[in-house]
Structure 1
Amino acid sequence: MDRDDLRPDSLLIHGDRARRAGQASVAPPIYPTSTYASDDPEAFTRAATTPQDAGFYTRYGSPNQADAAAVLAGLEGAEAALLTASGMAAITTATLALVSAGDHVALQTSVYGGTAALASEVLERFGVRTTAVAQDDLDAWDAAITPETRLVLLETPSNPRLGVTDVTAVAEIAHARGALVAVDSTFATPIHQRPLALGADLVLHSATKYLGGHSDLLAGAIVGSTALIERIWPTSLVLGGTLGSFEAWLLLRGMRTLGMRMARHSGTALAVAQALDGHPGVVHVDYAGLPGHPGHDVATRQMTGGYGGVLAFEVRGGGAAAERAISAMRIARRAASLGGVESLAVRPAAMWATQMDEGALERAGIAPGLVRLAVGVEDPDDVVADVVAAVEAATA
């Protein structure tokens, strides 16, 4: 079965089928082993030196990793994928594999707190200069990306303000100066956005989120060409951020329903955003599906089928009011992460205080009263009614 003949929902079910040809089991088995034996010395040597080989040692790869990687690569229209133990392991591994002391990295000001900390606390310490850029300012990107820039880190939609980056435009600027472009597409997933088709070189995912989809695993993914994945793989071996076989199995099981889940997530998020837009208890709503969002046109051009299941809104009255609103929600729970079947709400200014100082939070536009809401797959009407009632109770 040629994966190029299949649409996303079919790829999710059958994208690993060719890899498992000959297996009688409909569901893939779990391989709870750390190492693999071989009676053939030449085959053993090949396995030890082949990227992501599924028959040598689990830090190098496993059949469960290979199954999930095959599905994800197919979804992204890529040649290969490398799975890691978390989303931060994915972005850290990819970055450290591609830059050296003296190089320069450009990234967004509006970016996940862990990515910001990687730039300010790790890369700079090891002699890699970094520059943060407003993601929607193409002139600023043009000024920031130089011949010394080796990597451009994008995130769209971004966390937590749901900003939108024009991937094609930034990739053109970066490639003209010899830089690679990696896009964190966690919020969009391959269902709504395929960065490689937009000109990016790599796609990064916190597979903990929508790809896994059930708040029961940690995983990350790096997706791109075979050449780039082979370049990154040795660093992955050294860092050791390997995804376990059981977690890879859970990831594959979660991905089977990704298309159906994203349709519900995105539909509910749009309904909540519309209900809060213009509400007297809300200062502003961040969601690219709203026509008034500054990135709406770009998002509509580069995303398909929806705008994702996360929105942010600033509660009038600041941090205290935002906390009251979260406490008043009966459906959404106060918890980190997103992308599971349940709705979750957090106040980013409090959650990221250890990763970003006040200045960094301000530059990223993270106000004390900002709430990030990741809607689950509960009944949309119930979620909308619950969020609106919570905001009204907190601002009465």
Structure 2
Amino acid sequence: MDDTWLARIGAMRSSLSQPATTPIFQTAVYDFEDLDALEAVWTKAEAGFIYGRFGQPNSQDLEEAIAKLEGAEAGLACSSGMGAISAALMSTLEQGSHIVAAQGIYGGTSSLLLKELGRFGVTSSFVDIQDLDQLERAITPQTRLILIESLSNPLVIVPDLPAIVALARRYRLKVLVDNTLAPCLLKPHDHGADFVVHSVTKYLGGHADLTAGVLTGSTELIQLARRAAITLGLTAPAFDCWLACRGLKTLSLRLERHCFNAQKMAEFLSDQSQVKRVYYPGLPSHSSYLLAQKLFAFGGGPLVSFELAGGYLAVDQLIKCLPSIPLSPSFGGVNTSLSYPAKTSHRALSTEEQERCGIGIGLLRLSVGIERWEDLCAEFAVALGEKP
């Protein structure tokens, strides 16, 4: 019978050579020579791994890389950006806690705050993050954390992070910054942020082929977040972490091209008669222009949003006239894509809430890729000239 040896195929082999790239550790569990080895790894007296949900070499590589990128002591790889935010909040808040968050934040985040955490006695207030007086008025004795995005989606607003952190320190509050839209451009920890979170699915991975998130912060804060992530099953699988580490190798090159192209597209769209308004912090007309110049290492970011004068019908017509640019409810890939925020990222909001956040029926978000900018402008010029 072949049952026994078939069940035991596969072995670790020693070699004088090493793989040129980190292998994918596609295993759910790790074996030990004896009880002493098990105890040494479990108590962290020796380095090693135990069980996939607790972490593995590929997630460790990703955590260390993003922690270094963000200038943090430690990192935590999670199954998604929402997993990373959840780990931070679950390790920081308790029943009765209050959060102040930026108005118009990602719909998934607002749903987490209102529909999930709200059921357990955590309350949230949403404010115009450009109005520091309004932010301060929202703080209560129960407030524990301020949650903001370094570059908002879809109106690409840049908050005054140094001023917000200074305000938080006066009230002994923690600050969580979602830096998904501004990797390499801004390092929130340098300005005093306690947590930085990324949806690795977007620019860090960069190729729309993985789902992961990462959280960075002090060793103490990440230890608490890791405990929550392990308990809740929020940790990241090996393959997605491996893909993310591969994507990171070209992050700086990609972001420079994304931002360069975004600037060109913003300038082009500003000159089109069918375009009512363009939102891009690289344009002097944008409310965040001066802050972007002050805080960002380069560029105005990789996203451009614009409002069509013809409303919903004009949006639908433009999408149909751009067959090479997909309508995609995400961003951050190497190819350019369009999204309609009212029906994707912010569809959980009521019409009134969308309007309050500046998300109208004619608003489109453009995730600008790394193609030749001249080709992108030419495609849009043709599409905007089409008649229904």
TM (normalized to structure 2)?
0.92
Partner of 1:203: 196
User: What residue number does 1:387 align with?
Assistant: 380
Q: 1:267 maps to what in 2?
A: 260
Report 1:315-394 matches (<5 A): 315-352=308-345, 354-393=347-386
Query: 1:81 is matched by which residue type in structure 2?
Result: G
Q: For residues 339 and 167 of structure 2, what CA distance do their matches in structure 1 show?
A: 35
* Residue 23 of structure 1: how far off its partner (Å): 7.7
Rounded Cα–Cα distance in structure 2 between residues aligned with 1:307 and 1:47: 46
Decide which of 165, 180, 183 is 2:177's aligned counterpart. 183
Alignment correspondent of 1:44: 38
| Aligned counterparts of 1:138 and 1:132: Cα–Cα separation in 2 | 12
Q: Distance in 1 between matches of 2:91 and 2:231?
A: 10
Please report how far the alpha carbon of residue 352 of structure 1 lies from its aligned counterpart in structure 2 after TM superposition: 4.0
Please, what is the CA RMSD of the aligned residues? 1.8
DSSP 3-state at the match of 1:192: coil
Aligned residues of 2:156 and 2:304 also touching (Cα < 8 A): yes
Matching of residues 32-111 of structure 1 within 5 Å:
32-48=26-42, 55-111=49-105
Distance of aligned partners of 1:278 and 1:381 in 2 relative to their CA distance in 1, 3 Å threshold:
closer
DSSP 3-state at the match of 1:29: coil
The answer to whether the 8 Å contact 2:107/2:346 transfers is no
Partner letter of residue 75 of structure 1?
L
Contact 1:309 1:375 (8 Å CA) reproduced: yes
Paired residue type of 2:229: S
- Quick one: distance in 1 between partners of 2:135 and 2:129? 8
Q: Which residue of 1 aligns with 2:306?
A: 313
What is the CA–CA distance in structure 1 between the aligned matches of 2:40 and 2:199, rounded to whole Å? 31
Q: Does 1:127 align with 2:121?
A: yes
- Partner of residue 275 from structure 2, selected from 282, 285, 288: 282
Which residue is equivalent to 1:192? Answer: 185
1:293 counterpart = 2:310? no
Q: How far did 1:50 drift?
A: 5.0
* Identity between Structure 1 and Structure 2 (%): 37
* Amino acid aligned to 1:219: A
* Contact persistence 1:157–1:185 (CA under 8 A): yes
Which amino acid in structure 2 is aligned with residue 141 of structure 1?
L
For residues 321-354 of structure 1, give each alpha carbon's deviation from its aligned partner in whole angstroms, at most 9, with x where no partner exists: 1121122114321111111111110111122464
Q: Is the 8 A contact 1:212 1:252 kept in 2?
A: yes
2:139 matches 1:161: no
Contact 2:202 2:208 in 1 (8 A): yes
Q: SS at 2:256's partner residue?
A: helix
In structure 2, relative to structure 1, the CA distance for the partners of 1:374 and 1:67 (3 Å cut) is same
Equivalent residues of 1:54, 1:66 under 8 A apart? no
Query: What is the distance in 2 between the residues matched to 1:130 and 1:344?
Result: 32
Aligned residues: 372
User: 1: CA distance between counterparts of 2:297 and 2:257?
Assistant: 14
Deviation string for 1:230-282 (max 9, x for gaps)?
01111101110221111110000011000111111000011000111142211
Letter matched to residue 102 of structure 1? G
CA contact (8 A) 1:147 1:178 kept: no
Shift of 1:169: 0.7
Q: For 2:145 and 2:34, how far apart are their aligned partners in 1?
A: 41
Give the conservation status (yes or no) of the 8 Å contact 1:102–1:127: yes
Q: How far, CA to CA, are the matches of 2:381 and 2:177 in structure 1? A: 33
SS in 1 for 2:272: coil
Aligned match of 2:231: 238
C-alpha contact (below 8 Å) 2:341/2:347 kept by paired residues: no
Partner of 1:6: none
Other-structure match for 2:297 = 304
Q: Secondary structure at the match of 1:168?
A: helix
Distance in 1 (alpha carbons) for counterparts of 2:271 and 2:252: 31
Q: Distance in 1 between matches of 2:168 and 2:274?
A: 41
Q: Identify the range of structure 1 (103-112 vs 357-366) with the bigger mean alpha-carbon deviation.
A: 357-366
